[in-house]
Amino acid sequence: MLMKFYNKAGGLFMLFAFLLTMNGWAQPIQKTAQGLKFAARQMDISVEFYSENTVRVYKTPIGKPYLKTSLSVVAVPSKVAVRYAKKGQNPVIKSSKIQVEVNVETGGVYFYDASGKELLQDKDEGTQFSPINDAGTSSFKVRNAFSLDKDEAIYGVGQIMDNKFNRRNSSHLMKNENMSTYSPYFLSIKGYAVFWDNYSISKFEDKPEELSFESLGHCADYYFMFGANTDGVISELRGLTGKAPMLPLWAYGFFQSKERYHTQGESLDVVKKYRDLKVPLDVIIQDWRYWPEYNKTDSAWNSQTFDKERFPDPKKWVDEIHSLNAKLLIVTWPGFGPKTPQRKEFDSKNMIINFDTWPPKSGARPYDVFNPKALDIYWKYLNKGIFSYIGNDGWWLDSTEPDHINVKESDFDLPTHLGSYRSVKNGFSLMHNKGIASNQRASNHDKRVVILTRSGFIGQQRFGSNTWSGDVTSSWEMLQKQVPAALNYTLMGIPNWNSDIGGFFAGRWRDNGGNKNPEFQELYVRWMQFGAFSPMMRSHGTDLPREIWNFGERGSWCFDAQEKSIKLRYKLLPYIYGTSWDVSENNGTFMRPLIMDFIADQRTHEIGTEYMFGRSILVAPVTKYQVRKSPVYLPKGSGWYNFWTNEYSVGGQTVETDAPVDIIPLYVKAGAIIPFGPDVQYSTEKKWENLDIRVYEGANGSFTLYEDENDNYNYEKGAYTTIVLKWDQKSRTLNISDRKGSYTGMLAKRNFNVELITLNANKTGAKTKNVRSVEYKGERISIKF
């Protein structure tokens, strides 16, 4: 029996019911504004469209309603024209993009594309709520199982150091720690993803018969997102959990750091020496213990103030760094020593989570990031002691899991503002980043938020955060593991990632020749080459100094190879900044696994050793010692040019590529347009008045050159320009569009030096030049070759 009720406008009321008779009993189904609700197997189940492509499924034990507030999801449901139908005895709800069928007897939820092709099954009887006592609060162990195709590849899950890309047939305790950063999420090769919206210590397990999440909580709450392809999925995910803002141009330059610079003079001298050597540098980072009492008991750990002997004039220190056209990131931790004023205030307001955090024997404890008032208190001290005082340019948020030492099981029972620590642990970094980013953004419009953080969670991308892979060891094995770990992490919609160039712990090399050990030098160079094609290029580590001159003088192979990578990074800044705009505006991705652009090529489904950097450059890092020829797989669906030689190869084959120690294998996709900037010592030293543009023939292609004021939020008000460059292969013409937009300080005119890289550019070994130079004044130009 179907009952319809209409309001005066002729639309359906938000709620009505129809009865389905099954096996002699009547099952009520409630139709909601954009979905339906029903009860099955002692559960109340809600299925609701959030967009044409995204559906939220929400389950609670019957008679135990729970109002869930998400830490990750910021979207509200958009208006979707939902159609209702039946499939046998099962209700079906449809948008223009996907269909969802529910089994009112078993609680199963089945997802299809618009044509009816099955995508995923939330299994019949696959959800269980098992009562559990969570630190004195009645809660549940919640498990939800899904059925996947036998050979269906999946990705995401987290940054996992196991050297695997496809995450099928794996299981993980999802507990964010140093070097292990999880979000309960997977992305399918079929063009959909599932985000299990839960922050507790959880289990992920994929077996041939099912994939499951198991967590602590009061509800089963997940989002099914269909994008048809990987870019589409990430666009849905960012629409749900927040877009990634633009970082300033300087954030794509070279960062120098180590554990640690002891005085303000030491770090300042490092910047001066880079300038004297004319090796490009944009950022210096100050690591821990710049605060007082560092050599006593660490009872003043993270006081967010400066030791007067070692940092006698921190404002002058930062001003001098700025006068050298460099920027400063400064570390701050979530834990506080017992003698700090922050700790005393947090203690007095019950805003400390009372377990031991780093460093050992200090008495340091982390603050309760889940309390909004605690986030504001944290910023109050950070702003007064550092940001508004010295004018630093960004933050290094260390230990954002956070570190947990002298672990006791009872520590996870400790209360937070949102429940037991166990129930929210994996959201710690998300909330810590939120507090600092949101408060800085509210207090200063002229500096974009830049955060380097050691952990992450889905949604963190909206805070200008760049996750690094943690305190990894300095080894070839660990370098290999960085690549697939990074690719899976970025497939979770978080575009900014990096690692310590050279690996953090280098003790194995310290007593074996140190920086002059040939194998360590080669490892460092290969890691730097990888860093040049990461969203942040940052040298850091302990045991051995990492500044370039410690490896030799200019003219030595190790110095020169490093300088070559750093200079290439700076030459590519117009390409990188345009990619940053693509990430921010179009929900793009910096480090693009090959499945993103070549999913039709099944060989790419298992390749986690190569990736596209932006949409045009294929990167194949060398991760083994003394390799001088490296096999590189070139995907089907494109032609490919060796970046260094311009030699052309067809896709769908593995090529043996020359990889001398100063060369990282790079290939450029046919049809690509890549702008190259001037030689500079820092990112904004020269305006882009003369840009070299390489066009790689063989297919149509385009690139958007993006420019703005480099470091403020005026771009959000329209203060930026875009110039679209399009290559038409048939007519062999580069069309440069009218410039759109404007901003203070923009160039009125510039020169484009366009070089066409042709299919036979290097067949005989001779580098043929096909160059046109034009003056551009903001009006459309066509250049025919």
From the list 221, 345, 401, 500, the catalytic residue is 401
* 167 assigned to some structural domain: yes
What is the domain-level CATH number for residue 155?
A: 2.60.40.1760
* 778 assigned to some structural domain: no
3-class secondary-structure state, position 504: coil
Q: Is the pLDDT of residue 19 over 50?
A: no
pLDDT tens track for 102-143: 999 999 999 999 999 999 999 999 999 999 999 999 999 999
Q: Is the pLDDT of residue 80 over 70?
A: yes
Backbone φ, ψ for residue 709 (5° rounding): -85, 5
Write down the pLDDT at residue 297: 83
Given a contact cutoff of 8 angstroms between Cβ atoms, the answer to whether 763 and 770 are in contact is: no
- Contacts of residue 410, Cβ cutoff 8 Å, sequence gap at least 6: none
* 70 assigned to some structural domain: yes
Q: Is the pLDDT of residue 257 over 60?
A: yes
Give the residues across from 93 on adjacent strands. 84, 100
Return d(Cα 608, Cα 491) in angstroms, integer: 12
Q: Is the pLDDT of residue 765 over 70?
A: no
The residue with tokens 């979770």 is: 492
Give the residues across from 667 on adjacent strands. 618, 642
* 401 classed as catalytic: yes
Q: Is the pLDDT of residue 766 over 70?
A: no
Whether a cis peptide bond, with omega within 30° of 0, leads into 495 is no
Mean pLDDT score of the chain, rounded to an integer?
Answer: 95
Q: Confidence band (pLDDT; 50, 70, 90) for 285?
A: very high
- Contacts of residue 673, Cβ cutoff 8 Å, sequence gap at least 6: 616, 693, 694, 695, 696, 701, 702, 703, 725, 726, 727, 734
- 120: amino acid identity, one letter: L
Return d(Cα 425, Cα 446) in angstroms, integer: 33
Return d(Cα 475, Cα 512) in angstroms, integer: 14
* 398 classed as catalytic: yes
Q: Is the pLDDT of residue 5 over 70?
A: no
Tokens of 593: 């696994």
Return d(Cα 386, Cα 367) in angstroms, integer: 19
Q: Is the pLDDT of residue 209 over 80?
A: yes
Q: Is the pLDDT of residue 26 over 70?
A: no
Between 673 and 17, name the one with better pLDDT: 673
Return d(Cα 132, Cα 423) in angstroms, integer: 12
Between 20 and 448, name the one with better pLDDT: 448
3-state secondary structure 229-264: CHHHHHHHHHHHHCCCCCCCHHHHCEEECCCCCCCH
Question: How many separate helices (H) and strands (E) can be counted in the chain?
Answer: 13, 47
Write down the pLDDT at residue 296: 73
Q: Are strands 90-94 and 83-87 parallel, antiparallel or unpaired?
A: antiparallel
Given a contact cutoff of 8 angstroms between Cβ atoms, the answer to whether 332 and 405 are in contact is: no
Write down the pLDDT at residue 9: 32
Q: Is the pLDDT of residue 4 over 80?
A: no
Nearest Cα neighbor of 574 from 693, 705, 680, 672 is: 705
What secondary structure does DSSP assign to 488-510, as a single string? HHHTTT---EE--BT-SB-HHHH
According to DSSP, residue 717 is labeled: G
3-class secondary-structure state, position 631: strand
Residue 102: domain span: 16-190+192-226
Given a contact cutoff of 8 angstroms between Cβ atoms, the answer to whether 621 and 530 are in contact is: yes
* 50 assigned to some structural domain: yes
Return d(Cα 622, Cα 630) in angstroms, integer: 7
What average pLDDT does range 440-452 have in this prediction? 97
Tokens of 781: 């130009």
Return d(Cα 476, Cα 470) in angstroms, integer: 16
pLDDT tens track for 614-652: 999 999 999 999 999 999 999 999 999 999 999 999 999
Interhelix angle 314-323/264-277, nearest 10 degrees:
10
* 214 classed as catalytic: no
Whether a cis peptide bond, with omega within 30° of 0, leads into 484 is no
Write down the pLDDT at residue 293: 75
Return d(Cα 466, Cα 451) in angstroms, integer: 6
User: Percent of the chain at pLDDT above 90?
Assistant: 94
Write down the pLDDT at residue 3: 29
Q: Is the pLDDT of residue 6 over 50?
A: no
Neighbouring CB atoms inside 10 A of 629's CB total: 12
pLDDT tens track for 154-197: 999 999 999 999 999 999 999 999 999 999 999 999 999 999 99
Tokens of 63: 């008679």
* 619 assigned to some structural domain: no
From the list 236, 287, 398, 563, the catalytic residue is 398
Given a contact cutoff of 8 angstroms between Cβ atoms, the answer to whether 398 and 333 are in contact is: yes
Cα dihedral sign, 306-310-313-314 = negative
* 513 assigned to some structural domain: no
What secondary structure does DSSP assign to 179-241, as a single string? TBEEEEEEEETTSEEEEE---SSEEEEEETTEEEEEEEES-EEEEEEE-SSHHHHHHHHHHHH
Q: Confidence band (pLDDT; 50, 70, 90) for 431?
A: very high
* 525 assigned to some structural domain: no
Given a contact cutoff of 8 angstroms between Cβ atoms, the answer to whether 524 and 531 are in contact is: no
Give the residues across from 709 on adjacent strands. none
Nearest Cα neighbor of 338 from 324, 328, 352 is: 352
From the list 197, 287, 307, 471, the catalytic residue is 471
How many domains does one find in the chain? 1
* 240 assigned to some structural domain: no
Write down the pLDDT at residue 760: 81
Q: Is the pLDDT of residue 24 over 60?
A: no
Write down the pLDDT at residue 769: 74
Write down the pLDDT at residue 213: 98
pLDDT tens track for 726-764: 999 999 999 999 999 999 999 999 999 999 999 986 554
Distances in whole angstroms, Cα of residue 552 to Cα of each of 84, 477, 502, 642? 71, 25, 16, 30
Write down the pLDDT at residue 426: 98
Return d(Cα 624, Cα 476) in angstroms, integer: 6
Return d(Cα 59, Cα 220) in angstroms, integer: 5
